[in-house]
Structure 1
Amino acid sequence: MTSALHPLRVACAQIETVPGDRDANVARHLAVIDEARGRGVDLLLFPELSLVGYAIGERTLALALHRRDPIIGRLAEAAGPMTVVFGLIEEGPAAQFYNCAIAVRDGDIVFLHRKINLPSYGALEEGKHFADGRYVETFAVADPWIASVQICADMWNPALVHLAALHGATLLLGPISSAVEAVGAEFDNPAGWSLNARFYAMTYGMPVAICNRIGVESGLHFYGQSRILDPFGAVLAEAGSEETLLVADLDYADLRRARYLLPTVRDSDLELVAREIDRLIGILGVPDVVRRG
Structure 2
Amino acid sequence: MRIAAAQTKPIPNDTQANILRHVQYIDRAAEHGVRLLTFPEMSLTGYELERAAELSFTMDDPRLHVLCERAAQHDMIIIAGAPVRLESALHISSFIFLPDKQIALYTKQFLHSGEEVFFSANHNHNPHIILENERIACAICADITNPLHPANACSSGATLYVPSIFYTPGGIAEAYEQLGEYSQRHAMNILMANFTGESYRYPAAGRSAFWDASGRLVGQLGVGTEGLLLAEKVGDNWKSSVIIWV
Q: Distance in 2 between matches of 1:17 and 1:219?
A: 11
- Structure 1 residues 137 and 217, CA gap change in structure 2 (3 angstroms): closer
The one-letter code sitting in structure 1 at the alignment partner of 2:24 is A
In the alignment, structure 1 residue 104 sits paired with structure 2 residue 86: no
Q: Distance in 1 between matches of 2:235 and 2:110?
A: 30
Q: Distance in 2 between matches of 1:201 and 1:82?
A: 24
Residues 226-245 of structure 1 deviation map (CA, whole Å, 9 limit, x = unaligned): 00111111122100021011
* Alignment partner, residue 31 of structure 2: 38
Q: CA RMSD in A?
A: 1.7
In the alignment, structure 1 residue 69 sits paired with structure 2 residue 61: yes
Gaps of 5+ in 1: 1-7, 182-188, 256-293
Gaps of 5+ in 2: 239-246
In the alignment, structure 1 residue 86 sits paired with structure 2 residue 80: yes
- Structure 1 residues 205 and 28, CA gap change in structure 2 (3 angstroms): same
In terms of Rg, which structure is larger? 1
Residues 65-120 of structure 1 deviation map (CA, whole Å, 9 limit, x = unaligned): 11111111220111221000010111111x21110001102252342111011111
Q: Distance in 1 between matches of 2:217 and 2:106?
A: 25
* 1:229 aligned residue (199, 202, 211): 211
* Alignment partner, residue 222 of structure 2: 240
Q: Percent identity between the aligned chains?
A: 28
Q: Distance in 2 between matches of 1:108 and 1:175?
A: 21
* Alignment partner, residue 201 of structure 2: 219
* Alignment partner, residue 111 of structure 2: 118
Q: Distance in 2 between matches of 1:227 and 1:190?
A: 11
Q: How does 1:1-293 map to 2 (within 5 A)?
A: 8-54=1-47, 56-80=48-72, 81-93=75-87, 95-106=88-99, 108-120=101-113, 125-135=114-124, 137-181=126-170, 189-241=171-223, 242-250=225-233, 253=236
SS of aligned partner of 1:57 = coil
The one-letter code sitting in structure 2 at the alignment partner of 1:113 is Y
On the 8 A contact 2:161/2:191 being kept in 1, the answer is yes
Higher strand proportion (structure 1 or 2): 2
SS of aligned partner of 1:228 = strand
Q: Distance in 1 between matches of 2:207 and 2:29?
A: 19
TM norm structure 2: 0.90
Q: Distance in 2 between matches of 1:216 and 1:25?
A: 14
The one-letter code sitting in structure 1 at the alignment partner of 2:154 is A
SS of aligned partner of 1:225 = coil
Q: Distance in 1 between matches of 2:29 and 2:56?
A: 26
Higher helix proportion (structure 1 or 2): 1
TM norm structure 1: 0.76
The one-letter code sitting in structure 2 at the alignment partner of 1:82 is M
Q: Distance in 2 between matches of 1:174 and 1:91?
A: 21
* Alignment partner, residue 265 of structure 1: none
Task: Give the total of aligned pairs.
Answer: 235
The one-letter code sitting in structure 2 at the alignment partner of 1:247 is L
On the 8 A contact 2:78/2:96 being kept in 1, the answer is yes
Cα displacement (A) at 1:252: 7.2
Q: Distance in 2 between matches of 1:109 and 1:174?
A: 21
The one-letter code sitting in structure 2 at the alignment partner of 1:85 is I
Q: Distance in 1 between matches of 2:152 and 2:220?
A: 27
On the 8 A contact 1:11/1:36 being kept in 2, the answer is yes
